[in-house]
Amino acid sequence: MTARRKQAVLLLLGITLAVTGLVSGDMSRVEEVTVYGNFDVTPKEGRSAIMYLSPGTKDLALEKRYRFDGPVKWHPIIALSILFLLVLAGLTFRNPELHQGGRRWLIQWLGFVGTRVGMLRVGQVVPVQRCTLGVLPVLNCETCEMANGACPIGVIQASMRHQNFPFLAVGMLVTYGILGGRWFCGWLCPLGMIEDLMDRISVDRFRLPRQLEWGRFVMLGLVFVLPLAMGLAGVVSWLPFCTTVCPAGKILGLAPYYLTTGMPEVSASWTHPLGNVQRTLWIAFHAFVLSGYLILALGTRGRFFCRYLCPLGAFLGLFNRASLLNIQHDSGACGSCTACDSVCRQGVGTRNDFLATTGCLRCGRCVRSCSRGNRRWTFFAREKEERVHEES
């Protein structure tokens, strides 16, 4: 089978799975994990998007009340606008791509802002539904009050815990994968953008063995297996990946929740830690996991989570070789200057093994660094070409 036919078959498969999911009611699973306050409450699980909280910890997000018939709440809109400008400034700070004519930083920023359109709901300007954008190809935590699209990993877990195959989420991921592979990780993922920012100030102290990169595939398997096992055991209130290790949930979702809506619970835990020991331990656990992640992210080269633990990146990376958007490498004309090795922050460079191929984030640094022009972007290339990967 030719490369084009394989691409067509995979694209058709993805679309078929997604349509099957829509017809069979998978959208209800999306809505289950995109609930926050009275505007979004559904009778499904009776829980908000704060799926990280331990049973017994009060879910204050359920008490949020939105009204769209009164004056606009300008405080959150102004605060978020300032945050967006700070992120933009950070993306242009000490950014070598900026001086090379790269525009990835701008697309990353637009992706970050675009997946936070829910600020219009928070400001009570427009009743934007949290699942407006459907299932996204990035880790966009629904715990974030500004979210307006579902995280595919959250949707997969929400389906598996009820012993339902996640046709919609898997179909969308197959479609995204065949279109661009991990390009979405490198250019649109909000967490990836944050990891790029942290990489600018990384001390590059920890050198982890390459074998640990298999961790993202282990995590991908657990995303399917653990919710299924927990669901069979009658535990459906948690989404295991979200509850424990997901840094997107901690940074983009849970931290803002604790600092705003959930602040009373944090204050009570701080002033009366023994009043609710379970709540105190759970908040401490979240702080411990976030601190551990930040230490590793700031102490390693490149994107720590994307490289070693991200299940979404593992899934999309499986399509890197077959994706329509790709990077062509003319190995015969390569001068072996190793320029791509020096600019690649993910340890991919000239490597061509499975971990390298699936680990490339399609950031484009190797394309710009190649003085011979042997690496170039391609879309729906005519010939069967040797595919390359790269970094972020």
Res. 132: pLDDT tops 90: no
Q: For residues 301-306, give the mean pLDDT.
A: 92
- pLDDT at 271 (0 to 100): 92
Q: For residues 363-387, give the mean pLDDT.
A: 71
Q: Does one domain contain both 204 and 349?
A: no
- pLDDT at 243 (0 to 100): 86
Burial of 70 (0-12, 13-18, 19+ CB in 10 A): exposed
Res. 110: pLDDT tops 60: yes
What is each CA distance from 254 to 244, 349, 382, in whole angstroms?
12, 35, 46
Res. 80: pLDDT tops 80: yes
- pLDDT at 44 (0 to 100): 53
Res. 319 pLDDT band, cuts 50 70 90:
very high
β-bridge partners, 375: 329
User: Rounded to whole angstroms, how far apart are CA atoms 379 and 325?
Assistant: 4
Q: Does one domain contain both 264 and 195?
A: yes
Q: Does one domain contain both 343 and 369?
A: yes
What is each CA distance from 246 to 242, 251, 293, 306, in whole angstroms?
5, 9, 9, 11
Q: Which of 316, 333, 360 is the C-terminal boundary of a domain?
A: 316
pLDDT tens digits along 167-191: 999 999 999 999 999 999 999 999 9
Q: Does one domain contain both 359 and 258?
A: no
- pLDDT at 172 (0 to 100): 97
In b/e form, how buried is each residue of 4-43, taking b as 16+ CB within 10 angstroms?
eeebeebbeebeebbeebeeeebbebbbbbbbbbebbeee
Q: Does one domain contain both 36 and 141?
A: yes
User: Rounded to whole angstroms, how far apart are CA atoms 173 and 26?
Assistant: 14
Q: Does one domain contain both 66 and 121?
A: yes
Task: Please indicate whether residue 88 or residue 336 has the higher confidence score (pLDDT).
Answer: 88
Q: Does one domain contain both 164 and 208?
A: yes
Q: For residues 362-381, give the mean pLDDT.
A: 80
Res. 203: pLDDT tops 90: no
Our count of domains for the chain comes to: 2
Mean pLDDT is highest, among 269-278, 341-350, 373-382, for 269-278
pLDDT tens digits along 3-52: 888 899 999 999 999 999 999 999 888 887 888 888 876 645 556 767 77
- pLDDT at 335 (0 to 100): 64
pLDDT tens digits along 209-236: 999 999 999 999 999 999 999 999 988 8
- pLDDT at 303 (0 to 100): 93
Q: Does one domain contain both 298 and 334?
A: no
The mean pLDDT value of the chain amounts to 87
Q: Which of 278, 299, 316 is the C-terminal boundary of a domain?
A: 316
User: Rounded to whole angstroms, how far apart are CA atoms 187 and 266?
Assistant: 34
DSSP 150: B
Q: For residues 67-88, give the mean pLDDT.
A: 93
Q: For residues 272-290, give the mean pLDDT.
A: 90
- pLDDT at 33 (0 to 100): 81
Q: For residues 256-279, give the mean pLDDT.
A: 90
Sheet holding 387-388, edge to edge: 375-379, 325-329, 387-388
CA 45 to chain CA mean position, Å: 24
DSSP 320: T
For 383, the domain range is 324-388
Q: Does one domain contain both 7 and 122?
A: yes
Q: Does one domain contain both 294 and 334?
A: no
- pLDDT at 37 (0 to 100): 85
Helix/strand/coil (H/E/C) assignment for every residue in 330-343:
CHHHCCCCCHHHHH
User: Rounded to whole angstroms, how far apart are CA atoms 358 and 182?
Assistant: 8
In b/e form, how buried is each residue of 128-140, taking b as 16+ CB within 10 angstroms?
bebbebbbbbbbb
- pLDDT at 333 (0 to 100): 64
Res. 392: pLDDT tops 60: no
> What CATH number should be reported for the domain holding residue 366?
3.30.70
Among 58, 83, 7, 1, residue whose Cα is nearest residue 322 = 7
Res. 257: pLDDT tops 50: yes
In b/e form, how buried is each residue of 328-338, taking b as 16+ CB within 10 angstroms?
bbeeeeeeeee
Res. 386 pLDDT band, cuts 50 70 90:
very low
Res. 387: pLDDT tops 50: no
Q: Does one domain contain both 100 and 210?
A: yes
Give the tokens for residue 177: 């994968």
Q: Does one domain contain both 42 and 147?
A: yes
Among 22, 76, 66, residue whose Cα is nearest residue 41 = 66
Q: Which of 292, 316, 340 is the C-terminal boundary of a domain?
A: 316
Res. 389: pLDDT tops 50: no
